[in-house]
Chains A and B, each alone.
Chain A
Amino acid sequence: MKKMNDRERTFLLMTIPILILFFLFNTLPLIKGAIYSFTNFKGYGSYNWVGFRNYIDLFQDGRVGRSYWFTFKLALVSTIAVNVISLILALGLNSKIKFKSALRGLYFIPNILGALVVGYIFNYFFTYILPAVIQMMGGEGTSMLASTKWAWVAIMIVCAWQAIAMNTIIYISGLQTVPEDVYEAGSIDGATGWSQFKHLTFPLILPFFSINMTLCMKNFLMVFDQIMALTKGGPAQSTESISYLIYNNGMSGGQFGFQSANAVVFFIMIVVISVAQMTFTSKREEQL
């Protein structure tokens, strides 16, 4: 066997302990979670193997089904809304305006604030301020958070308030990579306004668009803090996100095994969506 030289040994020493740490707090719990998903473990006491029973039940459970529907609806609508608004905002903040850096700095503030506290603040807004405003305008004046029809919109607004700040700053950095002479050349060919954006700006910032789509989608699918602060899954379980359901029923609802199966399915979905998004956008970028 070849004797290791100092360089190879040092590299191994730099890598292996950290790999072990990573295994212990990422891979090991992942494996344990997968194992628990085949049991009827309540979180305490003894348990039995139940095979694929949890997975079969999962697809027949109305509450789980509703949480997937809610989470995906929220993620999809929010991702689109957030990206449209941040792109417009970024175009504005990147044009020739006064107080440019101050405005950019202020528009980023929502992103640095903790989602839970932001959620509590908006909770008050939706419960007391907004109904009073609607009442003044002759409306009914009930809280959005108390309505099964509107609570998800309120959650979306709070999620978007923070996500827009993040996506805008990424779009601005994308817009800054577009050189000025591209617009000059374009304007000679008559590309101004919307056609300039459609044919010149947007294709050039497409990589930033795909970053934002992926980031947004992933964050919204894992939404938790906002639910905790705004509705706690209510009213009538209409706003239970997948993460919230796993936390709530798995940790204190005695469904450790069942919710582990839910988490495994959720994990597979995240992987599939991320891979699909990445291959889709890399194809689009190749075409250009």
Chain B
Amino acid sequence: MKEKVNERVNWPITILLIIGLITVVFPLYMTIVIAFKQPSEMTNSISGILSLPKSWSLANFAEAMRVTDFWRSLFNSFMITVITVVISILIHSMIGYAVGRNKAKNKFYNFSYLYIVSGMFVPFAILMMPLVKQTAQMGIDNLVGVILCYVVFYMPMNVLLYSGYLVNIPVALEEAARVDGASTFRTYWSIIFPIMKPMHATVAVLTALGTWNDVMTPLVIMSGSGMNTLPLAQLTFQTQFGTNYNLAFASYLLALLPILIFYIICQKQILNGVVNGAVK
């Protein structure tokens, strides 16, 4: 009798969930139709705002790209995210390994572990003002400073993830390599690093989503440099959009598009990464 129940599709819940999707889809639909319209099509009634545009012209997008210097902002965002993710995977896994393998028997490593992981409690608000001064003094109030900040901000979470994952990797593997004459670093690089691949994926997803969408760090650190990231450009050019909402929405849509495309391609990895990161 139970088998029958397993096969039956629960249609009422399916339909309710599809109706509920309106809450997700409506804001996106609104963004798309407004982005394609001309200001003259925007009458004051709701139907004027929400009806489909008369023609699917790309003029708004071209103009938005010009106003916000889209390609440069996109390039900056891309560089920041990719470099942060690569450095994070390399050095967070390394310190995660060193600390994770030794913290049980060595006080120094145990202290280092707790020291870094407790950094999770430090809100950006308290670091913000001193960091602005510090990066300016060091001459890195630019992409470099932002990347270094991110590498440090994501360290507590990533070290926690890596050293947690290490528990599943038997020490015998490393000992076998050592008997074969491999140095400690080589053992790490050619044996442990590849084994940690599932965790690299999780770390990459979490770090990338966080840095890609972050506004506050580039806002305070790069404010003097005239450089923008993709989200920051929306803030900087807010005044320039004025009341031309069609232009503004074209720009918002452009800002959302890269991550949406990325999500469509790597949906499974992203969902796994997010869940792993939170649950571990």
Contacts and interface: CB of A to CB of B under 8 A. Distances in A.
A114 B212 contact: yes
B152 A117 contact: no
B102 interface: yes
B235 interface: yes
A66 B22 CA distance: 35
Interface in A225-251: 225, 228-229, 242-243, 246-247, 250-251
B9 A117 contact: no
B123 A270 contact: yes
Contact of A97 (B5, B9, B21, B188): B9
Contact of A170 (B6, B14, B278): B278
Contact of A6 (B183, B216, B259): B183
B259 A113 contact: yes
Contact of B129 (A108, A112, A132, A260): A260
B59 to A, nearest CB: 20
Interface string B237-269: 010000001001100100110011001000100
Interface residues of B, number: 92
A228 B278 contact: no
A126 to B, nearest CB: 11
A112 B270 contact: yes
A124 B104 CA distance: 54
A206 interface: no
A194 interface: no
B18 A208 contact: no
A133 B47 CA distance: 10
Interface in A203-229: 208, 211, 215, 221-222, 224-225, 228-229
A25 B131 contact: yes
A224 to B, nearest CB: 6
Interface in A162-204: 165-166, 169-170, 173, 184
A97 B148 contact: no
Interface stretch (A11-19, A52-60, A144-152): A11-19
A22 B116 contact: yes
A25 B152 contact: yes
B161 to A, nearest CB: 14
A97 B121 contact: no
Contacts of B34: 124
Interface in A126-151: 128-129, 132-133, 136
B122 interface: yes
B46 A97 contact: no
A7 interface: yes
Interface string B194-226: 000000000000000100110110001000000
Interface in B113-131: 115-116, 119, 121-131
Interface in B141-185: 148-149, 151-153, 155, 178, 183-185
A76 interface: no
A119 to B, nearest CB: 9
Contacts of A22: 115-116, 119, 152, 155
Contact of B124 (A104, A173, A243): A243
B213 A29 contact: no
A103 interface: yes
B51 interface: no
B168 to A, nearest CB: 17
A287 interface: no
Given A10-B184, A228-B235, A247 B130 contact: no
Contacts of B128: 246-247, 250-251, 263
Given A18-B94, A22-B155, A267 B213 contact: no
A172 B256 CA distance: 26
A217 B231 CA distance: 24
A28 interface: yes
Nearest to B48: A132
Given A117-B252, A132-B45, A33 B10 contact: no
Given A18-B91, A109-B24, A32 B134 contact: yes
Contacts of A116: 213, 215, 231, 234-235
B58 interface: no
A14 B95 CA distance: 6
A15 B112 contact: yes
Nearest to B232: A116
Contacts of A21: 148, 151-152
Shortest beta-carbon contacts, A-B, top 7: A29-B130, A263-B126, A114-B213, A32-B130, A10-B184, A25-B152, A14-B98
29 contacts: A7-B178, A10-B183, A10-B184, A11-B102, A22-B115, A29-B130, A33-B127, A36-B130, A96-B5, A97-B17, A98-B14, A103-B14, A110-B24, A112-B259, A114-B212, A117-B231, A120-B238, A124-B34, A129-B46, A132-B44, A132-B45, A136-B46, A169-B274, A170-B279, A184-B2, A246-B128, A250-B128, A263-B128, A267-B126
Given A113-B213, A266-B125, 19 more contacts: A6-B183, A7-B184, A26-B152, A32-B133, A92-B17, A114-B255, A124-B249, A132-B49, A161-B27, A173-B279, A184-B2, A211-B279, A222-B125, A228-B215, A228-B235, A246-B125, A251-B220, A256-B129, A267-B122
